[in-house]
């Protein structure tokens, strides 16, 4: 159910690639144990391990690497401007959308009482931040609706990594009991289109 590994899985599937994966038990804290930390000191998933043992962490870095090796279909745009728009929108999906859902979900999740921040231990959850997260999700939905009133997809009139992150954020928001507001017609139309793609069924 973890959203960031899902971003990478969808990206691979959209590229038609079958990349073997190993599940890491985040709820059980496997990502904080020596085995996983010896691969990536940041303790976060996903991480892509190459045949020579090199590790690439951070979903957008993994996607960018794969996109350069397998340019078709293009998921980061086809011109420098499109690429800039995709990266910009992807970051907004993450910083404004994903971060708000994390605040709202994580700070109310008792099993993570001392895991308030991903990838490390010892930070108490802060229930007051739930409200900040919930407010952030509302603002995110409003802004996404506006963004999608200008073009068919989040970064323009082409499907991209930003749509993958947007979809993943919205599916993850269900854990914080949020769904697309019923009068956000542009977002609902967009969601139907991206959620029904064969590549997103992971
Ligand atoms: N910015 C990172 C975020 C990675 C991240 O936060 N991953 C979560 C899973 S969705 C994680 O590994 N959490 C570890 C934890 O909760 O301790 C990315 O793009 O990959």
DSSP letter (8 states) at residue 157: S
Which residue minimizes the CA distance to atom 13 of ligand 1? Answer: 118
How far apart are alpha carbons 115 and 29 in whole angstroms? 9
For the chain, list the strands marked E by DSSP.
47-49, 55-57
28 alpha carbon – ligand 1 mean position (Å): 14
CB-based contact 197:13 (threshold 8 Å) = no
Cα(3) to centroid(ligand 1), Å = 8
Tell me if residue 123 falls in helix, strand or coil.
strand
Q: Are the CB atoms for 96 and 143 separated by under 8 Å?
A: yes
- Using one digit for the tens of pLDDT, what is the confidence trace for 148-186? 999 999 999 999 999 999 999 999 999 889 999 999 999
Question: What architecture does CATH give domain 3-69?
Answer: 3-Layer(aba) Sandwich (3.40)
pTM of the model: 0.97
- Residue-wise pLDDT tens digits, 112-157: 999 999 999 999 999 999 999 999 999 999 999 999 999 999 999 9
Which residues in the chain are classed under CATH 1.20.1050.10?
A: 80-200
| Residue 41, helix vs strand vs coil | coil
- Is the beta carbon of 31 within 6 A of some atom in ligand 1? yes
Which residue spans of the chain are classified as CATH 3.40.30.10?
3-69
2 lines ligand 1 (CB under 6 A): yes
The CATH class that applies to domain 80-200 reads mainly alpha
Mutational pocket test of ligand 1: of 118, 120, 122, 169, the residue with most ligand atoms within 8 Å of the beta carbon: 118
What token pair was written down for 193? 């289109």
């Amino acid at each position: 159910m973890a959203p960031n590994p899902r971003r990478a899985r969808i990206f691979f599937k959209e590229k038609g690639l079958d990349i073997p994966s190993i599940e890491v038990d985040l709820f059980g804290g496997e990502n904080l144990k020596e085995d996983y930390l010896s691969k990536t000191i940041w303790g976060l998933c996903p991480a892509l391990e190459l045949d020579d043992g090199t590790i690439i962490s951070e979903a957008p870095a993994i996607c960018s690497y794969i996109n350069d090796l397998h340019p078709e279909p293009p998921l980061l745009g086809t011109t420098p401007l499109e690429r800039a728009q995709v990266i910009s929108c992807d970051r907004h999906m993450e910083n404004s959308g994903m971060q708000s859902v994390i605040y709202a979900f994580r700070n109310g999740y008792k099993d993570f009482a001392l895991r308030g921040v991903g990838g490390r231990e010892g930070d108490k959850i802060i229930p007051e931040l739930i409200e900040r997260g919930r407010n952030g999700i509302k603002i995110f939905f409003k802004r996404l609706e506006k963004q999608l009133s200008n073009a068919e997809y989040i970064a323009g009139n082409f499907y991209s990594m930003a749509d993958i992150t947007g979809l993943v954020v919205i599916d993850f928001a269900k854990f914080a009991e949020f769904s697309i507001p019923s009068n956000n017609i542009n977002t609902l139309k967009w969601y139907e289109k991206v959620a029904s793609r064969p590549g997103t069924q992971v």
